[in-house]
Every structure is written in C-alpha cells, then in structure tokens.
Structure 1
C-alpha cells in the first residue's frame, strides 16, 4: 500500500513538472537597429525556439529624426493584429488589422488632420468586401457588402460539415454560420439575427465576435420546416446627411 502511495505521489510530481515546462513563458529578447549616426531605427521582440530566432512580440520603427513611423506585433514571424503607420510628423496615417504579411483584414486611412479618409473591410484572403470614403466626416461614397456571409456549417461530434441548400437537417442539430460585418467609422451600428416565423426570444442561439469584423453564430435548430435565417444590420451615420443604411442577408435550411 505504501509503495502504491509513493508511486502516485511520484506521478503527481512528474505531472506538475511537465505542466511547469509546458506553461513556462518564453524569454523575450529585443533586436535593435541603429543608423550610422547612432539613431535608433527599429526594435523587434523575438524568442528562441529550437535554436531559431522567431519574431514574436512588439515591433516599432522610427525615421532618421527619431519619430515613430510604425508599430505593431509579430506572431510566429508574421505581423498580426493591429498595426499602426504614421506620417513623418508622427500623426497617424493608417491602421491595418493584419492576418499576416500578405493579408490585411481591415484598413483605415487618416488625413493629416486626424480625420478618416477611407475604411476597407476584407475577406480572409485579403480581397475587398466593402469600402467607404469620407470627405471630412461626411460619407463621400461606399461600395460592396457591409454584411458579408462567410460560411454555414452543421456541427456534428465537433466536426464541421458545410451546409448546402438541398440539405435537410433535424430538430436539435447545431449549425454555425459566420458573417463579416463592417465597422463603419462615423456611424452607429446595430446587428441582429432572426429566423422568420418563430419566436426569436426563445431561439437557442449564441452570438460571438471575432476581431476585427467577424460575427460567429451558433444555433440549435428548434423549428420544423423551412428556416429562413436573416442577419439584419443597420448603420446610422453621424453626418445627419447620409441615409440610414440597412442590410439584410439570409439563407434557408430545411428542418425535419
């Protein structure tokens, strides 16, 4: 019995050691680049993994005058998340939400007065889905889809199966569907999901947001027959001139 107890204690200790190494934070280093005159031009955070240098963490670049011209972060050697770019006078020029070095998911451009000139929402491949331009704070033009459906899946045993219009689902099935919904500047946005012909207050639906502009909906089907699921977005612009923009996109699923 005593031997068995010792073995259990040793296994627990071994498990704790494994967890300690697994969750141990990587040590972060900083790479700095200077001009021949000694001016700091760039800093990049990095870690060492398996003997390799991996850029992972913040980066900042400066011009010859020491003014910051860009900053953001790397994740596993790729720029990821919000990256800021500045005019030579230090004012914000643009803000990109980057998926990696080749794909931007959202872009916002500013003029020298700090006002937004242009906003762009892109799909997962970096293709423009929606664009809007401003003259000061007044809408100049917009084009594309401010509410952009991405995927519809049935979830079964934690696996995802794409839904087609010919498919028939069952009451109790869980489906997941995604949208890109533009974060239009200088406007108030409302967004809701509803299924036509049912009491949506009783719908078994979870809505989550994912940066920068994705909305993920997970729903348990409760209504037999044709389910027409609508995403309804409304933008009310601050300029009091541009008309309210209403977007509705829908898809159908058949439920037994």
Structure 2
C-alpha cells in the first residue's frame, strides 16, 4: 500500500512539473536586420512541438532606426492594440485586433497628430460606425454608434438566443451585449432602462470589455412585455456638432 502511495505521489509531482513547464513557456526574441545591417524588427516567439510560434510583442523600425510599428501576437495571430507610426515617429493609426481577419476598432491620425478618422467594427470585421474629423471638428459620420450584438438567456450554463416571441419567467437571468463607439473628441454617457419599472431596484450588472463591448446581465422582475432600452449620448467637444443620441430597444415576454 505504501509503494502504491509513493508511485501515485510521484506521478502527481511529474504532472505538476509538466504543467508548469508548458504553462511558463520560455519566450525568445527574433531580430531582423536590413541588408545594410540596420535592425528593422524584433519579434517574440515560443517553441511548441518543434515549431516557432509568434507569441508576444513585435516592433518594426525604418532604416533610420525610428519605430514604425508595434503590437502583440497570440499564437501566430495579431491580438490587441497595434500602433503604426509615420516615418517622423508620430502616430499614424491605432488598431485593436481580434486576429488577422477581424479588427475591432481603428483610429487614424494626420501628420500633425490630430485624429482624422475613427472606425468601429462588428464581430466579423465589418465597419459599423465611421466618423471623420477636420482638425478637432466633426466632418461627417455614418453608421451605428450603439450596435446590438448578442441577446441571450442563461439557462443551465447554456445560451439560447432570445426572440421577441420567446416567453421567460420572473427571476430568469438574461444576458445581452452591445458595441459602443469610443468616439474621439466627445464625452459619452450610457445607461440601460426597462420601460415601466423602477430601474434602481433591478439587479443589473454592466461590464465593459476592451475595446468596445458592453456586456449586460439582469434579473427579470416584471411580468408581461419588457422593453429594454440602451440609451447612449455623445456630446462633442467642438461646440458645433449636435449632440448624438442613440436608443436601441428589444422586447422580452415574461410570464
């Protein structure tokens, strides 16, 4: 019995060592040089199953040694904030990437350092809101600054899409999400309301996820038709552009 216990303990210790070995992967740095010998890039990577996987920070430089791009990779895919620079070192654009195919948000600058364009994309990388600036003044905008994405009922750890014809009961928890544009040169306010109830008594949790996602969970408290409204207001700093008000609604039937 004692031998079996020792063997089991040894196996467990080996598994723990292996777990931490693969969890804490060693990060290497690959340096790239131009034909003239100038450093033009550094890329962090890890080794998995004999293959090098780009995983970590990357930085690119021009021939003069000025940084022209930086960002992050996860498992060979760009992920998170990537920044690109003009050759003079000023920011040209900032992109928040989900992967190589989907960008979530972009900000473009002119050579004077002023924002010239902002774009918010949906979950498959389609531009859903675009705003152009002339200096700090809004030139034009188009699309949906408040964009609904997922509206789900939580039930036994599974998700079921809500349709207006579905019927739920008081006490059920629903989860729904929006994409909210982070419009530059503007102040944003956002709130959720259900018509016909005291919203101060609703158990509702609102969570922000970078860069544009808002996740809402709430407990249903009212029988009958529940009309849930997301109300967003943008007040622009240029004192010229009108206040932009967005209201998005969806209905839930409750027993």
Query: What range is the shorter-chain TM-score in?
Result: over 0.9
CA 1:48–1:118 in structure 2 vs 1: closer, same or farther (change >3 Å)? Answer: same
Task: Tell me the CA shift for residue 12 of structure 1.
Answer: 6.1
- Whole-angstrom distance in 2 between the partners of 1:18 and 1:201: 50
Partner of 2:15: 18
Task: Tell me the CA shift for residue 21 of structure 1.
Answer: 3.1
Task: Tell me the CA shift for residue 3 of structure 1.
Answer: 4.3
CA 1:30–1:3 in structure 2 vs 1: closer, same or farther (change >3 Å)? Answer: same
Partner of 2:166: 167
CA 1:168–1:139 in structure 2 vs 1: closer, same or farther (change >3 Å)? Answer: same
- Whole-angstrom distance in 2 between the partners of 1:218 and 1:12: 43
Task: Tell me the CA shift for residue 17 of structure 1.
Answer: 4.8
Partner of 2:111: 112
CA 1:19–1:205 in structure 2 vs 1: closer, same or farther (change >3 Å)? Answer: farther
Partner of 2:70: 71
- Whole-angstrom distance in 2 between the partners of 1:183 and 1:43: 31
* Number of positions where the alignment pairs a residue of Structure 1 with one of Structure 2: 253
Q: Secondary structure at the match of 1:21?
A: helix
Partner of 1:33: 32
Gaps spanning 5+ residues in structure 2: where?
A: none
Partner of 1:220: 219
- Whole-angstrom distance in 2 between the partners of 1:10 and 1:193: 58
Task: Tell me the CA shift for residue 15 of structure 1.
Answer: 4.2
Q: Secondary structure at the match of 1:248?
A: strand
Which TM-score applies when normalising by structure 2? 0.94
Q: Secondary structure at the match of 1:183?
A: coil
- Whole-angstrom distance in 1 between the partners of 2:131 and 2:221: 38
Pairing 1:172-251 to 2, within 5 Å after superposition? 172-251=171-250
- Deviating above 2 A after TM superposition, structure 1's stretches of 4 or more consecutive aligned residues are 9-24
- Whole-angstrom distance in 2 between the partners of 1:18 and 1:237: 57
Q: Secondary structure at the match of 2:19?
A: helix
